[in-house]
Amino acid sequence: MDAPSQPHDRGGDAVLRLQTGEKRSGGGTNVPPPLGGDAPGPGPRRGFLTLLGVDLWERFSFFGMSAILVLYLTAAPADGGLGMAPGTATALFATYMSLTFMAGLPGGWLADRVLGARRAVLFGGALIAVGHVVLSLASVPALYAGLGLVVMGTGLAKPSLAAMVAAVSGGEKREEAFRRFYMCIQVSALLAPLVTGLLAEKVAWHLGFAAAAFGMAAGLAQFAVGLRAFERVGRAPIRPLARTEVRIAVNRAAGVLAVVVLASTTVALGVLPLTAVLALLGLATLTMPFVYLRTLRRRMPVDGKPLSAFMIVMAASAAFWMIFAQSGSALALFAERHTDRHVLGFDVPASWLQSVHPLFVLLLAPFVTRLRAAVVTKVAGALGVAGLSFVIMAAAALRAQEGPVSTAWLIAVYLLYSLGEIVLAPAGLALAAAVAPAGFTSRFLGLNGMFAAVGVVLGGQLYRLTAVLPLPLYFLLMGSAVLAVGAAVSAGARRLRPHLPI
């Protein structure tokens, strides 16, 4: 658990008051309780278990589909795939991944101002389930429509789930709750590639997508049954829109939706090249979190120094996600094309290797959770092991030029950035929740995801360099760049740490 050096410092107390609705010492007004409730929420255990159940199923659908998407996109049409070039497929995968993170910003806004956290989770889960059903249809238009539905649903559901976790834990136990939550959902990340990978690679690709749809539907049912555990938490938006604002919001949402539908249709029909659309979306992903955070700084009555430090730490963490997100793209293709997966007469599906990473998370988390350090230190350490993992991949790719290599190389890589993920991911969520003022929790958690999206889209677009660079050199350059960012964060830790609440 990441704790401040002074457990009762003013910054930490301010965050706790904002989260619980305690009166400020210098004023006479109550801050509204989090997530739209007007009474204290349930005990941490009941609420945590209910949220854990739905997220287990949601992550099953997410990791199950992610494990097979690039393999499906690059598979030959004769084998039921779409026959995309690897560079285009990885860019599409990265764009999809980054959009699921970026969608957390409008999704969090809808939860805060319109729907409330509960309905955001329910509506988002329904969109995800329908999206996977559409993906199970064998057509190119279904691919883009299904991915679009999954993106919108994830943007609604994920920030609200995280905000409800923050609400039922609160205070100094928040990061510990996020860490346990993150560790438990690795069960889904472990099992999902095994199920969807077996169905997709050994039977039919679209059965894998159908299995992901079933997982999300099961999660929705579990959440609906467990709603009583939350009493009034998340029932209504914490800062509902006025009627005039509703009309403006509806008009803007309709305009954005029309643009998305038009772009998807033109790509599906071949009017616009996919690479051009992916480049534009990537540019938007890279700039939006920085622009939005600067806008928030002008609107929120808080000190700008914590927000500046938050932006620096989040921007640095994007380098970790640049490495991490290539598990389902660059590493999946390496597993399929350059590793020896023949074991006891059975060809292990390439997607199964993606279960190694969550297995390591489950095994290592009990030991890593004892780590006590500031967020800045954790980010620097996570960047170090992530960079080292791609240096190892460079050596593996060099050996692969002589023939298929042992899967032990990939296992070593997964071990390293599993360590990094256990350290960095819960700390990032906890930092976003701690910095966020009252009424902005969902949006700050969505903003945390948007910075992750920056790294994801960078990794996907940079993989195109493999068309002109040898694969060993690509991995070496990526690993070295991330190591350099980690060193810079470590060097600046003394200046950043005093401005962060944890």
Write down the H helix ranges in 86-232: 86-102, 104-110, 117-135, 140-169, 174-184, 186-202, 205-225
Show the domain range for 112.
12-19+37-238+273-499
Q: Determine the average pLDDT of the residues in 156-168.
A: 79
Identify the top-confidence range among 9-23, 198-212, 222-236, 369-383.
198-212
Q: Which CATH number fits the domain that encloses residue 452?
A: 1.20.1250.20
Calculate the CA 96 to chain-centre distance.
11
Please state the domain count of the chain. 1
Taken in order 490, 495, 496, 498, the sign of the CA dihedral is positive
Taken in order 182, 184, 189, 192, the sign of the CA dihedral is negative
Q: Determine the average pLDDT of the residues in 465-476.
A: 89
Per the CB < 8 A criterion, the answer to whether 436 and 447 are in contact is no
The answer to whether residue 425 sits within a structural domain is yes
- pLDDT score recorded for residue 49: 76
The answer to whether residue 247 sits within a structural domain is no
The answer to whether residue 29 sits within a structural domain is no
Residue 76 has pLDDT above 70, yes or no: yes
Q: Determine the average pLDDT of the residues in 239-247.
A: 71
pTM of the model: 0.71
The answer to whether residue 473 sits within a structural domain is yes
The answer to whether residue 248 sits within a structural domain is no
The answer to whether residue 24 sits within a structural domain is no
Q: What percent of the chain has pLDDT over 90?
A: 9
Q: Determine the average pLDDT of the residues in 239-257.
A: 70
The angle subtended at Cα 44 by Cα 39 and Cα 48, nearest 5°, is: 115
pLDDT tens digits for range 85-108:
888 888 888 888 878 877 777 887
The answer to whether residue 489 sits within a structural domain is yes
CA distances from 403 to 209, 287, 334, 416, 460 (A): 32, 41, 12, 24, 25
- pLDDT score recorded for residue 231: 63
Q: Which residue has the higher pLDDT, 95 or 236?
A: 95
